[in-house]
Amino acid sequence: MLIGNYSFTLVFISLCVAILASYTALDLTGRIASARGRAVHFWTAGGALAMGVGVWSMHFIGMLAFKLPIDLGYDIAITALSLLIAVLSCGFALWLVSQPKLPIWQLAFGALVMGAGISAMHYTGMAALRMTPGIDYDPTLFGASLLIAVGASAAALGIAFRLRQHSPYVRLIRGGAAVIMGIAIVGMHYTGMAAAQFPDGSFCGASLDGLKGNGLDNLVLITTLAVLSIALLTSILDARLETRTADLAHSLTLANRELTQLALHDTLTGLPNRMLLDDRINQAMKKVEEQGGCFALMFIDLDGFKPVNDAFGHHMGDQLLREVGVRLREDLRSQDTLARIGGDEFVLLVRLSEPDDALGLAARQVGLLGQAFRVAEHDLQISASVGIALYPGNGLSAQELLMNADAAMYHAKGSGKNGYSFFDASMNSNARKQLQLLQDLRAALEHSQFSLYFQPKFDAASGRPVGAEALLRWQHPTQGMLLPDKFIDLAEKTGLIIAIGEWVLNEACRQMREWYVLGYTDWRIAVNLSALQFCHAGLVQSVAKALATHHLPANSLTLEITETTAMSDADASMTVLQELSDMGVDLSIDDFGTGYSSLMYLKRLPANELKIDRGFVRDLEHDSDDAAIVSAIVALGQALGLRIVAEGVETDVQQDFLTQLGCDSLQGYLLGHPMPADRFMQNIARGEAPAAV
């Protein structure tokens, strides 16, 4: 019998190839499992090729490591057949483990097929030697090699199936599994080789025309390594790509979720917005129709929010709104919806078992918001007016319910704020009236229904007239003369105030020009500016234009802005006021004492005049606090070098007191009511008459 021996270097290399091939195969199963569509076939075919070449070349290098004392060669066709068998059985194995499930019987069957494949490859490879006489195989070792092949295949398939999903340390586990599988494949091969016995005098038929020679091992090795590394590299790169795609898909999902959140929620408070509320109301209506029961829609409007916002700035206002949201939520169940649908407007949708339950809830919400809020070291006191609409009963659509809840809220506000009202059909007419008024207001400018009344201002000490305040009047076609408090708010809310304000400015300047020409060149005409006008970009230009059109020096015009407006965004106000002041326009802080002034800003404001709010003047005689406040304001104004005007002077006592305190000018019903320009001049002439005599 011929005694063979092994080149141990090649044996070692064959083991390495087996491990590498196993690792590649395991890596590829992961790709196949997560691939979609045609990529599955691509990965299975590529994987079968790479793994088949790997397993086969392990076997072939193992053969090359084996030396007999005779010349050996390998029949090309049979060797190629053994390679084909390797590729096919590996393809089958990969297909099997990429199935969604791998029950035990299927695993056993697969192991049998694959084991048979590997064995077939091995013994076909041996046949490529074309030995004469044939190789004797030791039956025990031959049997053992088959068992090892099947066992190793079962282990390989099992491991590959488990490892195809991404899991932590997958590379490490895969490496370990590859080593086990490699050893098993190598074990099968060398057991098979050990089974082979070559009788003395054997002759290798392929040694004449088959594959042989020294470079063969290197060629096989290099080709195999190339195939395996390309497969592995592609697999790793693809896995990276897949991870990145997965990451991208994940961030896309997050972004989508955020977008939906943004589209349906209010950014400030995170509460549902108008859109989501509408949807919830519709759902709630459907539910009531199907299952009975009822729900309430509560329209919650904050009282006293605007002054806080104006005085402390938007930042504080925002924080307060967030706190309000949190506090309102406290009392709710998870199925209730609290939405914010406008500046300081919240809407609550609650399912009720009895309509009467709404009462307790509304009372609780009003009570909750009536307690002071602690925001940034300040105790802020606000309250809430709540309007309640019930379904069924108070409307047939989400819009109608909301409108009616809104009308009920207005009613609550009208009856003293800090409370709640249930909707009643009569309230609707109020909302309708407002709507009609708005339509009329839109047409008022066009139809020249506005006019200006003028109220004189007098020098406190000498009693001489020093000018007038222009006050807007609206001659309504059906309601008669309307005072500003009936329509200025509406004009502000709808932006109409910009156009109206421009008209006032122009008309006041036109009138002042008439007086100027008559010789009253030291008078000033005062025009009130609303907050919206003050924020409007075109203000400075409008003022300049009005002055130019009517040939008036800038200091014939006083602009009155309320303290609250001036302080609400002090830095922005400062810029506008500075521009106006640079033009030479006179600036007056109206309703002084009602807002929250910061002394620091007041000092920096380029104002010329402080107008003490008529509220203080009214109570001067009875309220010693007010007297103290007025004298403090006068002292403050004097210290800052400002003129002090007191408005709302109705009695001699007030006039004397204010004059003594040092007010510069006075304005009020005692001295002159607001009146049209012609009557105004008649009164002035009458007043001047004694002096002229």
504 binds ligand C2E (CB under 6 A): yes
In whole angstroms, how close is the CB of 293 to Ca ion at the nearest point? 52
Q: How far apart are CA 370 and CA 418, in angstroms?
A: 7
467 binds ligand C2E (CB under 6 A): no
Minimum CB distance to Ca ion smaller for 207 or for 667 = 667
Minimum CB distance to ligand C2E smaller for 12 or for 596 = 596
In this structure, how many other beta carbons lie within 10 angstroms of the beta carbon of residue 294?
18
Positive or negative torsion for Cα 170, 176, 179, 184: negative
In whole angstroms, how close is the CB of 676 to ligand C2E at the nearest point? 13
The listed partner (Ca ion, ligand C2E, none) that binds 136, CB under 5 to 8 Å by sort, is none
642 binds ligand C2E (CB under 6 A): no
Query: How many residues make contact with ligand C2E (CB under 6 A)?
Result: 23
In this structure, how many other beta carbons lie within 10 angstroms of the beta carbon of residue 236?
13
Q: How far apart are CA 93 and CA 111, in angstroms?
A: 8
* Beta bridge partner(s), residue 676: none
From candidates 253, 669, 676, 682, binder to ligand C2E by CB under 6 A: 669
In this structure, how many other beta carbons lie within 10 angstroms of the beta carbon of residue 12?
13
Q: How far apart are CA 345 and CA 271, in angstroms?
A: 12
| Nearest residue relative to Ca ion (C-beta) | 560
CB 617 within 8 A of CB 638: no
The listed partner (Ca ion, ligand C2E, none) that binds 648, CB under 5 to 8 Å by sort, is ligand C2E
Structure tokens at 479: 């309601």
Cis peptide before 484 (omega within 30 of 0): no
Minimum CB distance to ligand C2E smaller for 27 or for 647 = 647
Could you tell me which residues come within 8 angstroms of residue 435 by beta carbon, excluding any fewer than 6 positions away? Answer: none
From candidates 63, 281, 488, 645, binder to ligand C2E by CB under 6 A: 488
User: Left (φ > 0), alpha (ψ -120 to 50) or beta: where does 37 sit?
Assistant: left
Minimum CB distance to ligand C2E smaller for 529 or for 644 = 529
Positive or negative torsion for Cα 307, 311, 317, 319: negative
From candidates 34, 124, 394, 530, binder to ligand C2E by CB under 6 A: 530
Q: How far apart are CA 298 and CA 328, in angstroms?
A: 12
From candidates 14, 394, 455, 573, binder to ligand C2E by CB under 6 A: 455
Minimum CB distance to Ca ion smaller for 560 or for 626 = 560
The listed partner (ligand C2E, Ca ion, none) that binds 483, CB under 5 to 8 Å by sort, is ligand C2E
Query: DSSP letter string over 479-536?
Result: TEEE-HHHHHHHHHHHTHHHHHHHHHHHHHHHHHHHHHHHT-TT-EEEEE--HHHHH-
Query: What track of x and - describes contact with ligand C2E for positions 202 through 231 (by CB under 6 A)?
Result: ------------------------------
Structure tokens at 545: 């234009």
- Going by their DSSP bridges, the two strands 345-352 and 337-342 should be labelled as antiparallel
The listed partner (Ca ion, ligand C2E, none) that binds 484, CB under 5 to 8 Å by sort, is ligand C2E
Q: How far apart are CA 233 and CA 50, in angstroms?
A: 12
In this structure, how many other beta carbons lie within 10 angstroms of the beta carbon of residue 244?
10
The listed partner (ligand C2E, Ca ion, none) that binds 530, CB under 5 to 8 Å by sort, is ligand C2E
From candidates 21, 277, 347, 472, binder to ligand C2E by CB under 6 A: 472
In whole angstroms, how close is the CB of 594 to Ca ion at the nearest point? 9
Strand ranges in 198-322 using DSSP code E only, listed in sequence order: 203-204, 294-303
- Residue 311's nearest CA partner among 537, 594, 534 is 594
Q: How far apart are CA 311 and CA 322, in angstroms?
A: 18
Q: 3-class SS at 199?
A: coil
501 binds ligand C2E (CB under 6 A): yes
In whole angstroms, how close is the CB of 577 to ligand C2E at the nearest point? 16
In whole angstroms, how close is the CB of 672 to Ca ion at the nearest point? 15
187 binds ligand C2E (CB under 6 A): no
Structure tokens at 63: 């053969």
The listed partner (Ca ion, ligand C2E, none) that binds 121, CB under 5 to 8 Å by sort, is none
Q: Which 671-690 positions form the footprint of ligand C2E (CB under 6 A)?
A: 674
Q: Which 611-640 positions form the footprint of ligand C2E (CB under 6 A)?
A: 614
Minimum CB distance to ligand C2E smaller for 145 or for 528 = 528
The listed partner (Ca ion, ligand C2E, none) that binds 411, CB under 5 to 8 Å by sort, is none
Q: How far is CA 150 from CA 146, 147, 187, 387, 419, in A?
A: 6, 5, 12, 80, 85
Contact residues: Ca ion, CB under 5 A? 528, 560, 590-591
543 binds ligand C2E (CB under 6 A): no
In whole angstroms, how close is the CB of 407 to ligand C2E at the nearest point? 25
665 binds ligand C2E (CB under 6 A): no
524 binds ligand C2E (CB under 6 A): no
Token pair 């809220």 is at which residue? 409
The listed partner (ligand C2E, Ca ion, none) that binds 501, CB under 5 to 8 Å by sort, is ligand C2E
Minimum CB distance to ligand C2E smaller for 401 or for 649 = 649
The listed partner (Ca ion, ligand C2E, none) that binds 361, CB under 5 to 8 Å by sort, is none
In this structure, how many other beta carbons lie within 10 angstroms of the beta carbon of residue 397?
12
Minimum CB distance to ligand C2E smaller for 110 or for 674 = 674
In whole angstroms, how close is the CB of 470 to ligand C2E at the nearest point? 6
The secondary structure of residue 198, as a DSSP letter, is B
In whole angstroms, how close is the CB of 669 to ligand C2E at the nearest point? 4
485 binds ligand C2E (CB under 6 A): yes
441 binds ligand C2E (CB under 6 A): no
130 binds ligand C2E (CB under 6 A): no
Minimum CB distance to ligand C2E smaller for 411 or for 457 = 457
Segment interacting with ligand C2E (CB under 6 A) among 44-52, 127-135, 163-171, 643-651: 643-651
From candidates 205, 304, 484, 687, binder to ligand C2E by CB under 6 A: 484
Give per-residue burial for 205-230: e unless 16+ CB within 10 Å, then b: ebbeebbeeeebbeebbeebbebbee
User: Left (φ > 0), alpha (ψ -120 to 50) or beta: where does 133 sit?
Assistant: beta
Minimum CB distance to Ca ion smaller for 106 or for 594 = 594
Minimum CB distance to ligand C2E smaller for 401 or for 529 = 529
- Going by their DSSP bridges, the two strands 450-459 and 465-476 should be labelled as antiparallel
Judged by the rule CB under 6 A, the positions of this chain that interact with ligand C2E are 455, 471-472, 483-485, 488, 501, 504, 528-530, 560, 590-591, 614, 647-650, 668-669, 674
